[in-house]
Amino acid sequence: MNRDRAYFLLLNIGHFLDHLFTLIFATVAALVLYREWGVGYAELLAYATPGFFAFGAFALPAGWLADRWSRDGMMCVFFVGIGIVSILTSFATTPLQMGIGLFAIGMFAAIYHPVGLAIVTMKWRNTGMRIAANGVWGNLGVASAALITGYLIDHSGWRMAFVVPAILSIIVGIVYFALRYRNIWEEHTASYRDAPKTGGGVSGLERSLLFRVSLIVFFTTAVSSIIFQSTTFALPKIFDERLQGLAVDLAAWFDGTAGGEQGDVATAIGSLAFVVFAMASFAQLVVGTMLDRYGPRRVFIAMAVLQIVFFTAMPGLTDGFALAVALGFMFGAFGQIPINDFMIGKMASGAARARIYGVRYVVSFTVLAASLPLIAFVYDSWGFDVLFRILAGAALLILAAVIALPQRLPSAATAPVAAE
C-alpha cells in the first residue's frame, strides 16, 4: 500500500472510530445501565445530551485551529485525545460521572468532521465517491457501536466497550503521526493558509444563488440531523422492543440451544442493528456515484421520498416486517449524509474549508444534541410510533426544501471566502 492510500485509509478509520465512540453509550444505556444504575432510559439520555452539544459546539474551533495550525496535527489530537478520555469514562460509577466523560468524548469527537472532510475534499478528485467511501466507514462505526458494545456487554462488561476502541484509537493516532509528522508543521497547512483569496468578482446573480443554496444546505442539515440522531441513537432500543422474537431466536442460534439465554439477547440485538446499519451504509456509495453523475438535486429528492415512505410504514410493525422497514428508512437516512458535504465541497473556498465544514457540523451536532430530549419526551409520552410519524414529517420538510435547489451549484472558484 502506498502512502497516499494509507493516508486515506487512516482518515476512514478515524471516521469509523468517531461515530463508534459517540454511540457506545446508546447501547450501554438501552441494554444495561437502566438496570444496573436503576435509572430510567429517558433519564439516562439527559446525561448524553451535553456530549452531543460538545460534538457540535467544538466543531467550529476545531476547524479554525486546523486552518490556522495543521489539519494533520488536529487529526493526531483527535485519535489520541478521544482514546484517553474514553478510557477515563469507563471508570464512571454514577450518571453524572458518565455525563462528564461523554462531554469530553464529544469535545474530541468534534474534531473529525470539519478536519477530516476538509482533507478528503481538498486532496482528492471524484469528490462524491471519496465522501461516500469515507461516509461508509463512518456508518460502519455507527453499526459497530451496537454490535461491539452488545458483544462486550455479554462477555466482558460494558466498561470494556469504552476501553477496547480507545486502545485502537491511540494506536492509530501513533501510526497517523508516523505517516504525516513532516506535514504537521510544514507545507500541509501553509499551502491552505497561503492560498489566494477568490470571489471578489462574484456577480449579483451568483451571490443570490450562493445564498439560496446555503440556506437550503443548512436547513436540510438541521432537519436531517434530527432524523439521523433519532434513528441511530434509538435503534437499539427500538429493536429491543420490536424485535424480541427475532432476537431470542438469533440468540438460540448463537448458542445452538432451543431457547437462547437472556444474556445473549444483547448480542443478538446488537447484531441485528449492525446488519441494518451496515447494509444501509452502502447507500452512500450509490449516492456518491449518482452525485458525480447527476448532481445533488435529483439524488436528494429520491432520498427524501424514500424516508417518507418507510417512516410512514413503520408504526405498529414488529419482528421481520419491522426489520425490513427499518432497513428502508436507514437506507434513506444514511444515503442523504454525503449530499450536503458534497455541495459544501463544491462551493467552499479551500483556504477556509475546514471552518466552513465546522459551521456545518456545529449546526448538525447541536441539533443532534437537541434531538435527545425529543426522543426521551416522545418515547415517555407516546412511544416510538409517534416518533416515526414525526420523522416522516421531517423528511417531508426536507423534500420541500430540496425541490428549491437549482440545477447548477455555484463553484468554489466563484464562492466568496469566509472571513479570516
The closest of 402, 406, 374, 399 to 387, measured between CA atoms, is: 374
Per-residue pLDDT of the chain (420 residues; tens, 9 = 90+): 688 889 999 999 999 999 999 989 988 887 888 888 988 877 888 888 888 888 888 988 998 888 788 889 999 999 999 999 999 999 999 999 999 999 999 999 999 988 998 888 776 666 677 888 888 888 788 778 877 888 888 888 899 999 999 999 999 999 999 998 877 666 444 544 545 444 454 555 567 777 788 888 889 988 998 898 888 778 888 888 888 888 777 777 766 654 444 556 777 887 888 888 888 888 888 888 888 788 888 899 999 999 999 999 999 988 889 999 999 999 998 888 888 888 877 776 555 667 777 887 788 777 877 787 888 888 888 989 999 999 999 999 999 999 988 877 665 444 433 333
CA 407, distance to chain mean position in Å, is: 27
Q: Where along the chain do its domains lie?
A: 3-189+204-402
d(CA 50, CA 164): 23
What are the strands, taking DSSP E only, across 166-319?
none
Taking the CA atoms of 214, 220, 224 and 226 in sequence, report the sign of the dihedral they define: positive
Angle between helices 337-347 and 296-313 (to 10 degrees): 160
d(CA 152, CA 160): 7
What is the DSSP track for 249-293? HHHHHHHTSSS--GGGHHHHHHHHHHHHHHHHHTHHHHHHHHHHH
Cell numbers at 126, concatenated: 471524484
List b or e across 140-156, with b for residues whose CB sees 16 or more CB atoms inside 10 angstroms.
bbbbbbbbbbbbbbbee
Cell numbers at 204, concatenated: 449579483
The topology under which CATH files domain 3-189+204-402 is Growth Hormone; Chain: A; (1.20.1250)
Residues in the chain: 420
Contact 261, 154 (CB under 8 A): no
Reported as type and span, the H/E element at residue 107 is helix 95-109
What pLDDT was estimated at residue 254? 64
The closest of 350, 414, 53, 353 to 195, measured between CA atoms, is: 350
d(CA 349, CA 336): 23
Cell numbers at 336, concatenated: 442523504
